[in-house]
Amino acid sequence: CSMASLAKKRAVGFGEKPEESDNSSDENPEEEDDSGEEDSEASDEEINEEVVVDFEAHTISDNDFNGIKKLLQQLFLKAHVNTSEMTDIIIQQNHVGSVVKQAEVPEDSDDDDDPNEVFGFITMLNLTERKGVQCVEEVKELIVDQCEKNASHIVTEQLEKIFNDNSKPVGLLLSERFINVPPQIALPLHKQLQEEIAEAQRTNKPSGRCHYCLIISKTCREETKSIPATGGAPKEEYMFVNAEEEFFYEQAILKFHYTVQEEADSCLSGRWSFTDVPMKPFRTVMLIPTDRMPAIMEKLKEYLSV
């Protein structure tokens, strides 16, 4: 029985379990008898931690349209990309990809909690086999355009050559989620996607045969630091909103960054929100040969196993 045809209602449980949160919140037990005020703060924190949300992966279906489109809009912002058409394609080819939903919406939760609310999704769109489709051409145009502005002429030439080589298809890997979804969920989602892509290749279905994987990552960087006294350029460190995408970046043969500061309110990142340093929002484009996927999956297992 193929993985692709299995119902994907697998619970992926995250969040602090109440019985564990006691240990996890008191790293410094000896400080606890300081003052009553701090004590009440600590217990408030503990209450916040005890929210356990289980997420599940499901097969993508028609009623996920608005949720997926919303996440695509977060990625592309004001770029000229037809996100409605892209969402339609993602739903049509639901033999690959999953949506992330809450396992069960608690009965006492607000009425506006929709049990079908999409918290994230993952899929692969084969850009080469969908040549000529409006949203696909727009994505390629956006990337080549930003590459010309933000990378060397050689890199742009290389990118255009890859886009034009029909014998080595390029797949756009889309993995989007809201920042309250923990990164651990990326492991089962990517694993499932790899199995579905292999199955699609075996059965000659769309999105199976990709030679390269293209990712547009949401990243941010601290507002430019002052140039160090040594005279060297300031170190540019990009932080990935989806933390696991750093492992893809390490394996990329072509990469560049472009700013989206004019289009985004601020850089939202679950992982970095505790810093008060102002962050500039970017998109990081990377191209990875698909034969490097097993190495990336190993890294994901190492860092994200629950």
For 244-269, what is the mean pLDDT? 86
Q: Which CATH class is domain 3-16+53-304?
A: alpha beta
* Distance between CA atoms of residues 109 and 99, nearest Å: 21
pLDDT above 90 covers a percentage of the chain that reads 58
Q: What is the pLDDT of residues 167-184, one digit of tens each?
A: 999 999 999 999 888 889
Ordered by start, the domain boundaries in the chain are 3-16+53-304
Q: What is the pLDDT of residues 93-112, one digit of tens each?
A: 999 999 999 887 666 666 56
Over range 199-212, report the average pLDDT.
87
126 pLDDT band, cuts 50/70/90, is: very high
pLDDT for residue 29 is more than 60: no
Q: Note the pLDDT of residue 248.
A: 97
3-state secondary structure of 217: strand
Cβ-Cβ contacts under 8 Å for 232 (sequence gap 6 or more): none
**Mean pLDDT of the residues in the chain:** 81
Per-residue pLDDT band at 267 (split at 50, 70, 90):
low
Tokens coding 303: 């860092």
Give me the residue label for tokens 């970095």: 272
- pTM for the whole structure: 0.78
Query: Which amino acid is it at 241?
Result: V
Residue type, 53: V
Predicted pLDDT of residue 108:
61
Q: What does the alpha-carbon distance between residue 100 and residue 78 come to, in Å, rounded to a whole number?
A: 25
